[in-house]
Amino acid sequence: MAFEAIEGQPRAVELLRRALASGRLAHAYALVGPPGSGRTTTALAFAQALLCPQGGCGRCRSCALVAARQHPDLHVLVPTPPETNPKGARAIRIALIRELERQAALKPALAAWKVFVLDDAERMTGEAPQAFLKTLEEPPARTVLILILPRAGAVPATVLSRCQIVRFQPREDGRSAADRAEAADTLAEVRAQGVEALFRRAQVFERDRDRAERLVDACWLFCRDLLLAKSGAPPRLLGDAAGAQEIEREAAAWTIDGLLRGIALCREARQALAVNVTPRLTVEVVLSRLARAAA
């Protein structure tokens, strides 16, 4: 995914591009905005541009490694459940920050930089924010840290004050409406036709991580809209205000618990895609679980 392909966030993209062009990079960036606004995709495009010898050509080995999430100088950290309880609350714990510190102290393996992306950085718990603050205070050489956050206030002010803040607007362009329509159609088809439709639909995501990410985002926003409709929110609060009637009808087929599980599922899928689970497999899991959840 290159910068050119990121839609609806011209200011965020411009800010990062200028940093790349001038070579004046901050040690840490906080990408702040609602889920689905393109924060993670942008973080990874930024990483690709930093790690590629040609500034993110999209064709070289380095860019291919970033696209497959296998570049040794790109570290994507996501919240995980406790080791002893796979069903427990997902968090970024102190052990993960220690591991980040250890990796950040090493020289880059291939590129001129090391990039660390902390997805859902607000989920740092216990001593993790304090330990992370120490890393920010003594930034390791040739290292760029990127925090993905829903709101600026979601981490301690001491952490945020050491990051350059990049704001993301909620995305309401034509593309996201189209993505949402695709997600709704796909779900309806998988629900009606079962496993055969699932495999057929998932095929197109075989090698297309960006498209898989967009589908998962769209499913996520779809569940969010259903949850809002179910809670009696006025249509103007829906991401898809124009489709309010349809959303209300669809919402009747769901329980609140089912929708909360759906949202959690999309969040996990998004993080799986940010590391290196196969896009197709991730899409299959999301579609089959969501299709069953509403049945």
Contacts with Zn ion by CB under 5 A lie at 52, 57, 60, 63
What is residue 272's three-state secondary structure? helix
Q: How far is the CB of 207 from Zn ion (least distance, A)?
A: 18
Residue type, 235: P
- Which is nearer to Zn ion, 115 or 202 (by Cβ)? 115
Q: How far is the CB of 66 from Zn ion (least distance, A)?
A: 8
For the CA atoms of the chain, what is the radius of gyration? Answer: 19
- Which is nearer to Zn ion, 51 or 187 (by Cβ)? 51
- Residue 167 and residue 163: Cα distance in Å, rounded? 12
- Residue 100 and residue 83: Cα distance in Å, rounded? 18
Q: What share of the chain is helix, strand, coil (3-state, %, to 5)?
A: 55, 10, 35
Is the sign of the CA dihedral 229, 231, 236, 239 positive or negative? negative
CA angle, 159 then 163 then 165, to 5° = 120
Q: How far is the CB of 205 from Zn ion (least distance, A)?
A: 23
- Nearest residue to the partner Zn ion, using Cβ: 52
- Which is nearer to Zn ion, 26 or 60 (by Cβ)? 60
Residue type, 22: S
Q: How far is the CB of 16 from Zn ion (least distance, A)?
A: 16
- Which is nearer to Zn ion, 59 or 292 (by Cβ)? 59
Q: How far is the CB of 59 from Zn ion (least distance, A)?
A: 6
Q: How far is the CB of 276 from Zn ion (least distance, A)?
A: 18
What is residue 164's three-state secondary structure? strand
Q: How far is the CB of 74 from Zn ion (least distance, A)?
A: 13
Range 39-42 contact pairs with CB under 8 angstroms and sequence separation of 24 or more: 39/148, 39/168, 40/117, 40/119, 40/148, 40/213, 40/270, 40/274, 41/1, 41/6, 41/210, 41/213, 42/3, 42/6, 42/9, 42/12, 42/13, 42/16, 42/166, 42/168
